[in-house]
Structure 1
Amino acid sequence: MNEPLRPLHRVLMVSDFFYPNFGGVENHIFYLAQCLMQRGHKVVVATHAYGRRSGVRYMTNGLKVYYIPWLPFYLQTSFPTLFGTFPIFRTIMLRERITIVHGHQAFSTLCHEAIMHARTMGYKTVFTDHSLCGFADVGSIHMNKVLQYTLADVQQAICVSHTSKENTHLRSTLPPEKIFVIPNAVDTAMFQPDPSKRIKDKVVIVIISRLVYRKGADLLVEVIPEVCRLFPQVHFIIGGDGPKRVRLEEMREKYHLQDRVEMLGAVAHSDVRKCLVRGHIFLNSSLTEAFCIAIVEAACCGLLTVSTKVGGVPEVLPPEYIVLAEPIPSRMVVAVAQAIELLPNVDPFAMHNQMRTLYSWPDVAERTETVYTHAMNTENEDLLQRLERYYACGPWAGKLFCLVVIMDYIFWHFLQWWQPAAEMDVAPDFQPQEESGTVRAVNRS
């Protein structure tokens, strides 16, 4: 019996965070795009320029990336312009014949602007939230209001954990039935165990993280000396860089731990496995996490994990592969002691095989495809219906949101007159030839 035809989508993924920058969001977009392309969909990525990397580039399997000549403003996010990016996003959507726009990460300015312009033009949109955010500080209040504005007009949203879904619902007031939970994944072929690389007669604890407050670097300053005092056989490997690195180096000198705490500095993603396979235990001290892809990578390499019990972390690994503790130094030390006792019962290869079945990018792509289909099946709306939702966002914010949307709508009609869509060239689609690895143009209707 023939399999029913699946609808094929033409997806524009937008985020400030993409290669050559490295991180969880960057990896997520790249691997998701590759798997969607393998399933027959057209995927294009739009991000801001990174140094001299500007214009159109092609990546693995012909993945087309638009590096928009917009320089990063703060922490790799571009300067907000509201309407400044509309002409170039409109050009990309029309030239690539996009059918759905998928924005990633609440902290991405380009993501918010692309979703707004796409909805003005009548495209269906999906948003993926990769992080948790608070409710009390000034930055969180501002961010949550921006998120409420953006999600007021998306068809579907995706979160990487159930904790993240609850957080996004509370921050944006988006109905829970519009939010899907699709976890991250890892390329398990890149993270294979290799017990032969471990130091004999020692217990090696690996830490690979940005050394910042949110990742719990201050916790490590107190946990590491106490663990070293209680367990003479323990050796630490710390990979990562950040403003808190100075505190860790001061701690190492203060307690004379230079021979037991190895500081690697920044570690390229391609070298992460080389660090992980040297260890027995992976230590995650984050104060907030929506998912934490690092502990999945560590488990794929056969490391037992010790982690703070925060955010979506308890959902990620089976209980036999992780020891959880409150983000308190004394509790973390106890958790490390428990992990050391459990080490003889850990089979690295059995752990890797289980991670391979739990987290795979083809599965993530298939579930994301379902979200796209749900989004495409939603009813089309006119401007007044959209304004009703924006107006409900608050007595003052609602009126401001409506004004921005109306101005965006007027600007769109100006662009339609200034550069009619019928006069715009359509970009050819490219697919790599498997035999030669070259790229050829093909027609896609």
Structure 2
Amino acid sequence: MNLNAQGYLSLILHAHLPYVRHADRDDVMEERWFFEAMTETYLPMLLMFDRLHRDRVPFRLTLSLSPPLLAMMDDSLMSERYTAYLNKLIQLSEREQERNQNQPEFAELAAMYTQRWTELLEYYQACGHRVIPKFRYYQDEGCIDIMTCSATHAFLPFLKHEVSIKAQLMVGVLEYERHFGRRPRGIWLPECAYTAECSPLLQAAGLQYFVVDSHGLEHASPKPSRALAAPVMTMHGIHAFARDPESSRQVWSSHEGYPGDPDYREYYRDIGYDLGWGDAEEWAYIKPYLLSNGARIHTGMKYYRISENEQDKMPYHPEWAQHKAAKHADHFLYCREQQIQNYQAHCDRKPLIVSPYDAELFGHWWYEGPLWIEALFRNPRSQQGTIAFITPEDYLREYPVSEEVDIPFCSWGRNGYAEVWLGQENDWIYRLLHQAEDRLLHTLQHHSTNLWGHTAVAERVLNQSIRELMLAQSSDWAFIMDAKTVPTYAAARTEHHLKQFHELIDMMEHRFYDVESLERMEHHAACLTSVHYELYTSALSSPPPMLLPDAYKADAGTPWRHRKVLMLAWEFPPLVIGGLAKAVFDLSRYLVDQRIEVHVITRSVQGTPSYERMKDIHVHRVHVLQTTTPVDFMDWVFQLNLAMTDYAVLLMESGHHFDFIHAHDWLVHYTAKDLKEYARTPLIATIHATEHGRNHGIIEHDVQRRIHQMETDLTAIADQVIVCSNAMVQEVQSLFTLPASKVSMIPNGVEIASLVPHSVERDYTSLRLQYAAPHNKILFYIGRLVYEKGIQVLIEALPLIHSSVPNTKLIIAGTGPMRAELEALAARLGLTSHVTFTGFIHDDTRNDLLQLADVCVFPSLYEPFGIVALEAMQSGTPVVVSDTGGLAEIIEHGVDGYKALPGHLESLAWHVTEVLLHPEIAKNMAANALRKVEQRYDWKSIAVSTKQVYEGVIMR
């Protein structure tokens, strides 16, 4: 290293190709990408290293070698085919010398190619057809530093789950270690795509630095004081080296970049495209060197230089090009010296210029590129000038601490972000990739808890499924679709790997391993040998730790005296979103009284323990696996099910044997299905509502269809289905084609004497004054603020009610997505002073409001049951409900309440007005309603009916 240097230059070459090995065919055009890269970039690069090393010319550069490229370099089949490819090139070049006997300039160029390709073949054979050890040698000699890359060059910010990014990184690290005998210190993030979520994952993988595009630092916070003249550090201590835009422009720019010089060889003129147009003899000559189907390709025989005149290309002169490469190398170094001097004015350490490029630019696209690199190192400026070549690793040894900043999302793609990899040409792939990620995690969660057993074949199936998914995740496919080069091939590769992924996961789910198909897939994807499913399972964590507290471990040697049921519910107190939480809680309490041991698995809620005994119910709360990006509701549901299944299996493995699994609604469908299969336990499903009913029969969006399908599947796999009303019996039988014998109607209930009825004197004066004046009449609604509850109908009916009872106030309690819309509706109708939105209220306040109200109104458009109506009836307050669903069955019109036509303003207003204007009728209906609740809707009798369903299932 030049010790007198005032600054440093880091030349970084990113070497990568997608995995284009096709075991069953030897004439795939895309496989030639590898052969061309070897011929024009990687072997010339090693020969350049040999020359510099032989001449004792110091050189120092950084090279990334991606796992797919390493796999193809190390593959015996690819080696065999590449040798045949070189021999065919040599044969063509020899024939070209004969064909061009009358064109001396072309004949000389053909002889040059013969000599060149013969040299490469001999060199390749001398290496034993193994080039990776040569790269390793020069790293061990201290001439180059080799970085790793992720497993398949996936665009990491677009992976859905953190564990998927971890696995991509760790396979990259392990593949590197396997080939180079040491752990990598740096990584080339695919497409230089960085997001803050990557930082802790890089740290966990033991990596020290990565390369980022310049705008990543330009928009960092705080703005780096050294600008682009030095690396920065993330909060996890990972160093980011920013690409220098000026040096990149001098090489990359189509207008001013060196590769566009007229003396350099023209890439696009090739005899594979030039010969055989309208000449049968010429076509017969060139056809053997094209694809077997006659498709034209680059043969490598290129005779022209770029030339000033695009219309009249001139013959290529290698000596001119070599001279120009040396001249451009000197110019490049001169410009870097000027940059270093400019940086010194505001940099408190030796400035660093980072110049990263795609490796294949040098040799493949820019034929003279390797000569240019060699000229850089041989140039006197790099030996005793103001600049020295170093690697990022060298710089960190000199300056181990960098300025800490937050780097925003960025990449080195077009316009600096992600539009190349997420646009109208390729956005369709991510839904499929994310679904595959979800399915893989779901399967691996089960495998990690010994759901199928760790057989050797099962492990191979899992490993190959990961390999297929990783190959589908390659950013190359989306890039190709965007560039529209071979988009059909890129789409087919994505779909092919995903198809094989799902075939393998099907094997796991069905516990049938098609070994012949597995071996075929392994043969075709002979890469990434470091892939192992434990890279995922060891990283999958769902707090609390997967160790069950002693408080609820079962003693496997002690038989249980009573039946045991495992309840699955997505909400449970204290988390109450709708009526399901309270229904499951009350049913569980009364089942305990029936000598049934109840365990509820539900989701975690802040401030509550992961396990507790609540009213003798065993409550287990699970945390959902975190993702790197926000997820939509359906994805969250899937993650919840993963965590619930994992936890339930641990319960069972700790000694718990459950006699029944009781699933509540579609949100726990995946867990219910998996546990039924795993434990061979009867499954009871309670359908509290249907997607069809909630949307009034309109199922048109993808999410709605998915929910409807999960409801269908849940009822199909259940041994018995419970619903809460006769209307729901008809609905589920019709929707899901269930036999009558499979559906049981058990209503929801209320706890008798949980409220103090009007017959007991209480003073509500102060509470009333919070919402209304003493002379006001109060209408009360409580429930979710969603469309199917019909609150909008009640608000629109209020002016009609005011025409008969002007002093009426409406109190709306509860939360939901329609609150802002409902408040706007009240304002638009001039009702702001007459309508109060309380938001969430606690049970005590709810009970008080139920009793102080003059009428409780529940104008639902769809209501499977309507437990809140029972609570109002038990409070001794008259009720008006919609004549729909379970509400219609609870109320006998004119006897214990009124039923209005659903969605009908005049009908609702008239019935509410009747109650307000005729207090004696209202009082009689309220008394009848209270008696009905006490006689028919007692949770004790409901629990007994549920227990009978359980026993009936066992007796089958």
638, 644, 664: which one aligns with 1:104? 664
- Residues 107-138 of structure 1: per-residue CA shift (max 9 Å, x gap): x1x34423432233211111111113314323
CA distance in 2, matches of 1:207, 1:185: 19
SS at match of 1:126: strand
TM-score normalised to structure 2 length? 0.37
Query: Normalized per residue, which structure has more strand?
Result: 1
SS at match of 1:277: helix
CA distance in 2, matches of 1:261, 1:144: 36
Match of 1:34 in 2: 589
| Equivalenced residues, count | 369
Match of 1:225 in 2: 799
Letter of the structure 2 residue corresponding to residue 353 of structure 1: R
Match of 1:59 in 2: 614
Change (3 A) 1:86 1:281: closer
CA distance in 1, matches of 2:706, 2:670: 14
Match of 1:46 in 2: 601
SS at match of 1:206: strand
CA distance in 2, matches of 1:321, 1:164: 22
Task: Please say if 1:288 is aligned against 2:842.
Answer: no
833, 851, 855: which one aligns with 1:277? 851
- Residues 66-93 of structure 1: per-residue CA shift (max 9 Å, x gap): 1012269666994315766544222223
Match of 1:382 in 2: none
89, 109, 112: which one aligns with 2:648? 89
Letter of the structure 1 residue corresponding to residue 583 of structure 2: H
Q: What CA RMSD, in Å, does the superposition of the two structures yield over aligned residues?
A: 2.6
Match of 2:947 in 1: 369
SS at match of 2:885: coil
CA distance in 2, matches of 1:124, 1:254: 53
Q: How does 1:14-163 map to 2 (within 5 A)?
A: 14-22=568-576, 23-53=578-608, 55-60=610-615, 62-70=616-624, 78-80=636-638, 85-94=644-653, 95-106=655-666, 108=667, 110-134=668-692, 135-137=697-699, 138=701, 139-163=703-727
SS at match of 1:141: helix
8 Å CA contact 2:883, 2:899 repeated in 1: yes
8 Å CA contact 2:690, 2:711 repeated in 1: no
- Residues 199-255 of structure 1: per-residue CA shift (max 9 Å, x gap): 765432111122222211321331123212331232322212333333443444455
Q: How does 1:162-201 map to 2 (within 5 A)?
A: 162-194=726-758, 197=764, 201=775
CA distance in 1, matches of 2:567, 2:918: 43
CA distance in 2, matches of 1:300, 1:190: 9
331, 335, 340: which one aligns with 2:916? 340
Change (3 A) 1:190 1:282: same
8 Å CA contact 2:815, 2:839 repeated in 1: yes
Deviation of residue 45 (structure 1)?
Answer: 0.5
8 Å CA contact 1:132, 1:289 repeated in 2: no
8 Å CA contact 2:663, 2:684 repeated in 1: yes
8 Å CA contact 2:602, 2:644 repeated in 1: no
Deviation of residue 147 (structure 1)?
Answer: 2.0
List runs of 5+ in structure 2 lacking aligned partners: 1-560, 769-773
CA distance in 2, matches of 1:104, 1:321: 30
8 Å CA contact 1:164, 1:312 repeated in 2: yes
Letter of the structure 2 residue corresponding to residue 322 of structure 1: G
List runs of 5+ in structure 1 lacking aligned partners: 1-6, 379-445
CA distance in 1, matches of 2:709, 2:818: 30
- Residues 150-200 of structure 1: per-residue CA shift (max 9 Å, x gap): 222221110000111121122222222111000000113222223753776
Letter of the structure 1 residue corresponding to residue 753 of structure 2: A
Letter of the structure 2 residue corresponding to residue 136 of structure 1: I
Identity of aligned residues (%): 21
CA distance in 2, matches of 1:84, 1:205: 43
CA distance in 1, matches of 2:860, 2:633: 19
Change (3 A) 1:77 1:172: farther
Higher RCO (CA-CA < 8 Å; seq separation 6+):
1
Letter of the structure 2 residue corresponding to residue 169 of structure 1: Q
TM-score normalised to structure 1 length? 0.76
Deviates further, 33-42 or 315-324: 315-324
SS at match of 2:797: helix
CA distance in 1, matches of 2:635, 2:665: 11
Change (3 A) 1:255 1:117: closer
CA distance in 2, matches of 1:264, 1:373: 44
SS at match of 1:152: helix
Change (3 A) 1:211 1:152: closer
Match of 2:878 in 1: 304
8 Å CA contact 1:147, 1:171 repeated in 2: no
8 Å CA contact 2:747, 2:942 repeated in 1: yes
- Residues 11-57 of structure 1: per-residue CA shift (max 9 Å, x gap): 01011121221131111111111111111111110012223535212
900, 913, 917: which one aligns with 1:325? 900
